């Protein structure tokens, strides 16, 4: 599921240039033959829950230096619909303070809660995160969202120009060439309507432009 996405565009270049490194550990590889990876939840409820030993076995294969200082530089993320909301501020803080991030992606109704308890008992930083108020079939898409958003905050991943633009005020309403756009194009049998770029964006006055962008964002 990750293969094609991680080979494209900015993320693909970042991996190729060794700005970031991504490894995969499949908990299903640690399931004994003929033994289920999931089971019904104790106490009842819908769906199936993934067994804890598979994830902990996979985690034990990750090459971490088990010192106190190393643990402070590693953050573990569990994706959960009840977790705190992921945003750009979280991405920036993570890129600044952590050298490694371990994203544990579940499926079905989730992962046995004892995985989180064991990891915290080992002294690891564990966050439960959600990427929005909706339910997905697995944690793969949320993991891709975090990889993309956090990678952008790592020095060198974005180009120099893009890095500068990242710090400027963005807007939901953006324009590019041509300055004057007619649609439908002339000669199509219908009268063309003229669409122009707002004058403030052509002024070169960054303060006024940023004020315009803020107003547009406040209308959302």
pLDDT digits (tens, 9 = 90+) for 112-170: 999 999 999 998 889 999 999 998 989 999 999 999 999 999 999 997 656 655 666 77
pLDDT for res 71: 67
CATH number at residue 13: 3.40.1280.10
pLDDT for res 216: 85
131 marked as binding residue: yes
Lowest mean per-residue pLDDT among 69-73, 82-86, 187-191, 198-202:
69-73
Its pTM stands at 0.83
Q: For 169-179, give one letter per residue: b (16+ CB within 10 A) or e.
A: eebeeeeeeee
Between 143 and 219, the more confident residue is 143
Inter-residue contact 108 to 47 (CB < 8 Å): yes
Asked whether residue 32 falls in the same domain as residue 84, the answer is yes
CA 94 to CA 73: how far, in whole Å?
10
pLDDT for res 162: 60
Asked whether residue 188 falls in the same domain as residue 141, the answer is no
How many domains is the chain partitioned into structurally? 2
| pLDDT tens string 28-75 | 888 887 678 889 999 998 889 999 999 999 999 987 755 556 667 899
pLDDT for res 115: 95
Residues 6+ apart with CB under 8 A from 5: 11, 144
pLDDT for res 46: 87
175 marked as binding residue: no
Cis omega (within 30 of 0) for bond into 184: yes
pLDDT for res 167: 64
19-30 average pLDDT score: 92
Residue 190's domain comprises 169-218
Asked whether residue 200 falls in the same domain as residue 151, the answer is no
49 marked as binding residue: no
Q: What tokens appear for 35 in the block?
A: 């033994």
194 marked as binding residue: no
Asked whether residue 95 falls in the same domain as residue 204, the answer is no
150 marked as binding residue: no
Asked whether residue 55 falls in the same domain as residue 129, the answer is yes
Asked whether residue 131 falls in the same domain as residue 202, the answer is no
Asked whether residue 93 falls in the same domain as residue 188, the answer is no
Give me the percent of the chain exceeding a pLDDT of 70. Answer: 91
């Amino acid at each position: 599921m990750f293969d094609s996405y991680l080979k494209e565009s900015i993320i693909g270049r970042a991996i190729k240039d060794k700005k970031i490194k991504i490894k995969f550990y499949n908990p299903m590889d640690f399931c004994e033959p003929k033994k289920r990876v999931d089971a019904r939840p104790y106490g009842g409820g819908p769906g199936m829950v993934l067994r804890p030993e598979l994830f902990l076995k996979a985690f034990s294969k990750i090459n971490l230096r088990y010192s106190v200082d190393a643990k402070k530089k590693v953050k573990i993320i569990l994706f959960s619909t009840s977790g705190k909301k992921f945003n750009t501020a979280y991405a920036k803080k993570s890129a600044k303070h952590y050298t490694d991030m371990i994203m544990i992606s579940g499926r079905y109704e989730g992962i046995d809660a004892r995985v989180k308890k064991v990891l915290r008992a080992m002294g690891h930083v564990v966050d439960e995160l959600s990427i929005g108020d909706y339910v997905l079939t697995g944690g793969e898409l949320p993991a891709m969202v975090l990889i993309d958003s956090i990678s952008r905050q790592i020095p060198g991943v974005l180009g120099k120009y893009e890095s500068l633009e990242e710090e400027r005020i963005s807007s939901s309403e953006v324009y590019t060439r041509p300055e004057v756009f007619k649609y439908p194009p002339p000669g199509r049998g219908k009268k063309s309507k003229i669409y122009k770029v707002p004058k403030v964006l052509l002024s070169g006055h960054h303060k006024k432009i940023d004020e315009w962008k803020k107003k547009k964002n406040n209308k959302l």
